[in-house]
Amino acid sequence: MRFVLLVLISLCYQFTSAQIMFNNPSFEDEPADATVPMGWFACERGTTPDILPGPWGVDLEAEEGETFVGLITRIDGTFESIGQRLSTPLEADNCYAFFLSAASCDTYSGFNGRISFRIYAGNRKCIKSQILYSSKLVENKDWEVHKIEFTPEKKFKYITIEAFHSDTNNPIKGHILIDNISSITPCSKV
């Protein structure tokens, strides 16, 4: 019996140690405009994400918990991005995967253009050394799950998520809504 208990504890430890956890993965905080959610930091000059729903006329319900984050792009070509230091670094040449939910709406106070988002890895706060994922245009008005699967080229400690519009000659006032980020796990465990 004691041996079985030790094996079970060992297996549970191996499973949880293989996961890389995000701090505040569902962006829980008090709804407010121009506010970075707890556990995250702003990455671009002028980044003032919104904790939603509520501000700017956004009334979509959170997929997980009570709140989610909104990031925008502007007609001057600027955009918003947020990041965080990972609980455990990503190792080079290992396949990883995680999921996040994204949506758009028609009521984001004039920032209603449809855009995409990108995810980067780096070794310092807000440094974008390797692109891990680039989404298609997010046009859905309900939450849609995105599977992010990637292989880092080297060891990385940070993740950055940015609002992105591909036409730099014709930037738009757009937005992306993000919620419910899962733990990062080895691809074999997904």
| Residue numbers of the domain that contains 76 | 2-189
What is residue 17's predicted lDDT score, i.e. its pLDDT?
Answer: 52
Which residue stretches of the chain have pLDDT < 50?
A: 3-16
Write out pLDDT tens, residues 3-14: 333 333 333 434
Between CA 91 and CA 155 the distance in angstroms is 5
Between CA 94 and CA 90 the distance in angstroms is 8
Structure tokens given for 14: 């191996």
What is residue 189's predicted lDDT score, i.e. its pLDDT?
Answer: 74
**CATH code for the domain in which residue 150 is found:** 2.60.120.260
Would you put residue 85 in left (φ > 0), alpha (ψ -120 to 50) or beta? beta
Domains of the chain: total: 1
Q: What's the predicted TM-score (pTM) here?
A: 0.89
What is residue 4's predicted lDDT score, i.e. its pLDDT?
Answer: 39
Between CA 12 and CA 9 the distance in angstroms is 5
**Coil vs helix vs strand at 41:** strand
What is residue 76's predicted lDDT score, i.e. its pLDDT?
Answer: 93
What is residue 12's predicted lDDT score, i.e. its pLDDT?
Answer: 40
